[in-house]
A and B are shown apart, each in its own frame.
Chain A
Amino acid sequence: MLATALSRRAAVGVNANALRSLSTWANVVAGPPDPILGVTEAFKADQDPRKINLGVGAYRDGNGKPYVLPSVKKAEEILTASKPDKEYLPITGLAEFTKRAALLAYGADSAPLKDGAISITQSISGTGALRIGGEFLARHYPHSKAIYLPVPSWGNHTPIFADSGLEVRGYRYFDKKTVGLDFEGLKADLRAAPEQSIVLLHACAHNPTGVDPTQAQWAEISDIVKERKLFPFFDMAYQGFASGDTARDAFALRHFVAEGHQVALAQSFAKNMGLYGERVGAFSLVTADPAEKARVDSQLKIVIRPMYSNPPVHGALIANTILGDKALYTQWEGEVKGMADRIISMREKLYNALTHDLKTPGEWGHIKSQIGMFSFTGLTPDHTKVLAQKAHVYMTSNGRISMAGLNDSNIDYFAESVNAAVKGNL
């Protein structure tokens, strides 16, 4: 085929130099496959009927199927019937949507919200919000280029912030021994961080561990952040999804704002509205006053315009339709609670299966105490490897499972496979 192509090109007068352009990308090495999205690739390739995908964090219903929220379906019908045009959104997105997104996150009583001091832009879901935030901080945060991430954190946080031009560091978070929060380590590391460093905080349902601070612990963290003048950057990808209650899941964010912190917030509607692929999110900053908000707005636009000009409209219209309609909003809240409840029931079941039925070695209480989509099982990379190869059970190599991938039909097989892996019998 190459010979024919070359002779064809010779026929149209190809200069020998063109072939030397074979060297243009000679120095490009193969990039690594994405560790999270790569799990789904491996799962898809597997033909075994018992296979389970506990990799990527996308909700599945009780039948293991993707779940299009009925409120979303309804919103789409209303939307399509209204025959919207496809005109460009402003750089910062659909204004009605971002206004409502801010209200959902910060709450109606939020002082900066009422003062018109929150600068907000629509973003390409949570990833886009984090990236806009990273770029903005790298350019305009005057005091530091260092951002502290909990250890561990979502894998993509590191490249997002590094590529934005920030220096990524870590603070202790997960305690392997207790399979819970290393609160003393967290406090010590935040106290030791240089003043005015940036600190990334998972607002709720920590990814990948599922371990969240208690409200009392959040209050302590807020005090330390104040003490060290750290800049809090909240990543909230699971509001409503964690406890089933959107206000409750926003506690940490709202507490910090009430305490006077000027925060940054990355918000995603991928999980709580099931809008994953439509890429619906928002990035916001608490500023001092409307005049400062206007200046910050103008600089956010400077970040966004040369990257992608303006965000996609379809998903934002769906989210806006739901948030703006009382009945749909209430319906949506119920559906979010439904998803959260199913996950909580799977946690219960898995805990009971491992502890009472199979008597699997180890302590499994963390399965129940952890919150949200993910659970850090405590399984080792070797365990996860053998689980994939022998049991056709897929999860990321750090032992994180997406609870949403479990259901009544596969939970027993999963528990048995874990049991066998831990005992070394797989």
Chain B
Amino acid sequence: MSAETWQDVPLAPPDSIFQLTASYKADTFEKKVNLGVGAYRDDDNKPWVLPVVQKASELILKDTSLDHEYLPITGLASYTTAAAKLILGASSPAIQEQRTVSVQTISGTGANHLGALFLSRFYKWNGAPQVYLSKPTWANHHAIFKNVGIEPVDYPYYDPKTIGLDFDGFIGSLQNAPERSVFLLHACAHNPTGVDPTEEQWKGVADVMLAKKHYAFFDCAYQGFASGDLDKDAWAVRYFVDRGVALLVCQSFAKNAGLYGERVGALHVVPPSKEAAERVKSQLSVLQRSEISNPPTYGARVVSLILNDGILFEEWKADIRTMAGRIIAMRKELFRLLTEELHTPGNWEHIINQIGMFSFTGINAGQSKQLVEEAHVYLTGNGRISMAGLNTKNIRYFAESLDKVVRG
């Protein structure tokens, strides 16, 4: 019991995104702009609790029949069932044939972790456990898979020359990977690039995945948030289910319902049969039990209420369109300022072609640093900006600052 027990514990590097936010908060510059963390902000740069969520919270508070009892290990059934329908579509063969296993998770991270953990224990690996991750991808993907003993391997995705998709590189990687490899696919609104495959390109990906018997690990954190349309954003996942690609889907309600801190997510595994689904469910439950026992009630109740009530569901869709709409408007305005007013050197089409919360501007690490240090514009070193951080009050300042660093 001497005081030396923890003396060798090394200082771990701080999470880079959170550090960026901390620097922003400490900055006293009046015109500072935060384009770091991916949380939606309204036009006044304030967090936005969706009106439908506020309504649902009040209904929950008033409901005297509700208590704080434990949920089942796999979560609130009315929530997971509705969440599965939302991403897969009510008419999905996966749902009609009752072979979808749905587990409520601690938001998207929890779903990714549980999915990765399940694969690490039960997937029939072809060689050492590996997962193919897009280059680039959400930083936490690497940590999540490494944490359960699955080694990340990059697949080509982003082409810095076109500031678009390196489709040939992507397909090449699928073709060259050993059979039965696991590929992580962003269902829509790729993080961090905002570059999504077209429907034709998705079809090409599915063709190769079937030919090579690969497994699709879908991460869907922006359904509805990308285009403003829930069904449109779910197209790739649903197509892959229809084609019979073996897959699971990680789902998050952090962004599309603005429920970030309530940690509302789900993991949906789609095996080929109902019987397999029962066995998979039992094993997911065992894994969940030794980590969290059962998931948190509150956020799941809010989403369950919204998804299962016709009126609230329509209100939610409208709130989603508000958010997606404002972001699309900012993309259009930024594009206009750069191309029509400032005539900033370079091609800026990607600003309006990319989709979702993030945009890979195309500037390099040096230029990003300059933006932070000289203009007090906070963004990550890869040139990624969170569009949600832009608003009618700061967009001109940002465009001018960006113009300056591009011109050198």
Contact = CB atoms under 8 A, between A and B. Distances in A.
A294 B215 CA distance: 41
A307 B261 contact: no
B364 to A, nearest CB: 27
A308 B109 contact: yes
B259 A124 contact: no
B292 A127 contact: yes
Contacts of B10: 295, 299
B47 interface: yes
A277 B299 contact: no
B244 A15 contact: yes
Most buried by B among A9, A90, A311, A313: A313
A85 B48 CA distance: 7
Interface stretch (A18-26, A101-109, A346-354): A18-26
A86 B110 contact: no
Interface in B173-229: 210-211, 213, 215
Interface in B19-49: 37, 39, 47, 49
B227 to A, nearest CB: 23
A415 to B, nearest CB: 26
B296 A312 contact: yes
Interface residues of A, number: 94
Contact of A292 (B6, B37, B293): B6
A277 B6 contact: no
B365 interface: no
Contact of B244 (A18, A298, A307): A18
Contacts of A31: 279, 282-283, 285-286
Interface in A1-58: 1-2, 5, 8-9, 12-15, 17-34, 37, 56, 58
Contact of A13 (B69, B243, B246, B262): B243
A314 interface: yes
A26 B180 CA distance: 14
A288 B49 contact: no
Given A262-B3, A312-B296, A86 B107 contact: no
Interface stretch (A72-80, A361-369, A405-413): A72-80
Given A25-B280, A305-B143, A308-B106, A91 B15 contact: yes
Interface stretch (B52-60, B161-169, B374-382, B384-392): B52-60
Contacts of A87: 39, 47, 260-261
A278 B296 contact: yes
A229 interface: yes
A379 B181 CA distance: 52
B225 to A, nearest CB: 15
Contact of A17 (B213, B272, B286): B213
A321 interface: no
Interface pairs A-B: 7 shortest CB-CB: A18-B244, A308-B106, A31-B282, A277-B297, A313-B261, A159-B290, A314-B298
Interface of B: 1-15, 18, 37, 39, 47, 49, 53-54, 57-58, 61, 67-73, 93, 96-97, 105-107, 109-110, 113, 122-124, 140, 143-144, 146-147, 210-211, 213, 215, 242-246, 254, 258-263, 271-273, 276, 278-280, 282-283, 285-286, 289-299
Interface of A: 1-2, 5, 8-9, 12-15, 17-34, 37, 56, 58, 66-68, 72, 76-77, 80, 83, 85-91, 124-125, 127-128, 131, 140-142, 156, 159-160, 162-163, 225-226, 229, 231, 260-262, 270, 274-279, 285, 287-288, 292, 294-296, 298-299, 301-302, 305-315
26 contacts: A21-B244, A23-B124, A34-B73, A58-B70, A66-B67, A86-B262, A88-B254, A89-B261, A124-B106, A124-B296, A160-B291, A229-B2, A275-B68, A279-B294, A279-B296, A279-B297, A292-B9, A298-B11, A298-B13, A298-B14, A306-B147, A307-B291, A310-B261, A310-B263, A312-B262, A312-B296
